[in-house]
């Protein structure tokens, strides 16, 4: 799919910012649509199936996190948060809700275009229908993003946790640096090792029998992480 065929949904109540974003993306070949409320955004995604969404967190009818959380119950459309909120807990909350990226206003137009291109490229990558990863008694279907334990119970992994796991699985058995993981999962210039450690710790709590003594998600001291499929 070419960029001229891709449509970006902008969920933003500031008309001036919407106009800037539409001019920016249409100038490089994307199609755009904009809405001013959380509810309108959810309805648009349901009916029109855009290729990516740019969402402000401060919407007049609801917090933008509500948009992300609801859309993530039935869609994997890439979502980029574009907001004036700068605190790390706010960023982590957005990623936990299922955001693919987080950009703080004021923003660079070229950087925003690059981020959108990055998330849409990841969305278009072919996947293996039989891409099943087994870590002890836990089975992860990397394509369907379904994780099941030994008792058949579905374990809830966030979209961002899935992407970290997918990237480590592509290099199973080999060390992967912090920067490599962050570039793939968050995008260039977004490396934050503290945030990465938070997500790896969360994955260990969900996937490891003893998270304090991991058998599968191993730390490579001073380097990054390594995924092993056999303890």
CA angle 39, 45, 49 (to 5 degrees): 170
Q: Where in the sequence of the chain do the CATH 3.40.50.2300 domains occur?
A: 3-124
Beta carbons within 10 angstroms of residue 4's beta carbon: 11
Mean pLDDT of the region 63-68: 92
As assigned by CATH, the class of the 132-227 domain is mainly alpha
Does 206 have pLDDT greater than 80?
yes
User: How many residues make up the chain in this entry?
Assistant: 231
Q: What CA–CA distance (Å, rounded) separates 126 from 129?
A: 9
Does 72 have pLDDT greater than 90?
no
Beta carbons within 10 angstroms of residue 229's beta carbon: 12
Q: What is the pLDDT of residues 153-199, one digit of tens each?
A: 788 888 788 888 888 888 888 898 998 888 877 765 555 788 888 88
Give residue 30's pLDDT band: very low, low, confident or very high (50, 70, 90).
very high
Q: What is the pLDDT of residues 106-125, one digit of tens each?
A: 888 998 998 888 878 766 55
Give residue 129's pLDDT band: very low, low, confident or very high (50, 70, 90).
very low
* Dihedral pair phi/psi, residue 63, rounded to 5°: -70, 140
Radius of gyration, CA atoms only, the chain: 18
pLDDT at 126 (0 to 100): 43
Mean pLDDT of the region 24-40: 94
Residues 6+ apart with CB under 8 A from 68: 55, 79, 81, 94, 97, 98, 99
As assigned by CATH, the class of the 3-124 domain is alpha beta
């790896």: which residue's tokens? 200
More confidently predicted of 76 and 42 = 42
Full-model pTM: 0.61
Q: Where in the sequence of the chain do the CATH 1.10.10.10 domains occur?
A: 132-227
Beta carbons of 39 and 46 less than 8 angstroms apart: no
Tokens found for residue 127: 């996947």
Does 73 have pLDDT greater than 90?
no
Q: What CA–CA distance (Å, rounded) separates 99 from 187?
A: 13
pLDDT at 41 (0 to 100): 95
């Amino acid at each position: 799919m070419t960029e001229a065929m891709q449509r970006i949904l902008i969920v933003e109540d500031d008309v001036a910012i919407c106009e800037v974003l539409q001019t920016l993306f249409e100038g490089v070949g994307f199609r755009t649509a904009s809405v001013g409320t959380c509810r309108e955004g959810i309805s648009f995604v349901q009916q029109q199936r855009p290729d990516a969404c740019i969402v402000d967190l401060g919407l007049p009818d609801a917090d933008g996190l509500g948009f992300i959380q609801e859309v993530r119950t039935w869609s994997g459309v890439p979502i980029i948060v574009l907001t004036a909120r700068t605190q790390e807990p706010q960023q982590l909350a957005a990623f936990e809700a299922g955001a693919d990226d987080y950009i703080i206003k004021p923003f660079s137009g070229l950087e925003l275009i690059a981020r959108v291109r990055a998330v849409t490229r990841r969305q278009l990558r072919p996947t293996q229908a039989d891409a099943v990863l087994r870590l002890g008694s836990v089975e992860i279907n990397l394509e369907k993003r379904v994780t099941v334990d030994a008792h058949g119970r579905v374990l809830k992994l966030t979209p961002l946790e899935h992407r970290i796991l997918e990237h480590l699985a592509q290099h199973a058995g080999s060390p992967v640096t912090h920067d490599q993981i962050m570039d793939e999962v968050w995008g260039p210039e977004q490396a934050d090792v503290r945030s990465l450690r938070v997500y790896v710790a969360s994955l260990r709590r969900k996937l490891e029998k003893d998270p304090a003594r991991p058998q599968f998600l191993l730390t490579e001291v001073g380097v990054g992480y390594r995924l092993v499929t056999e303890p």
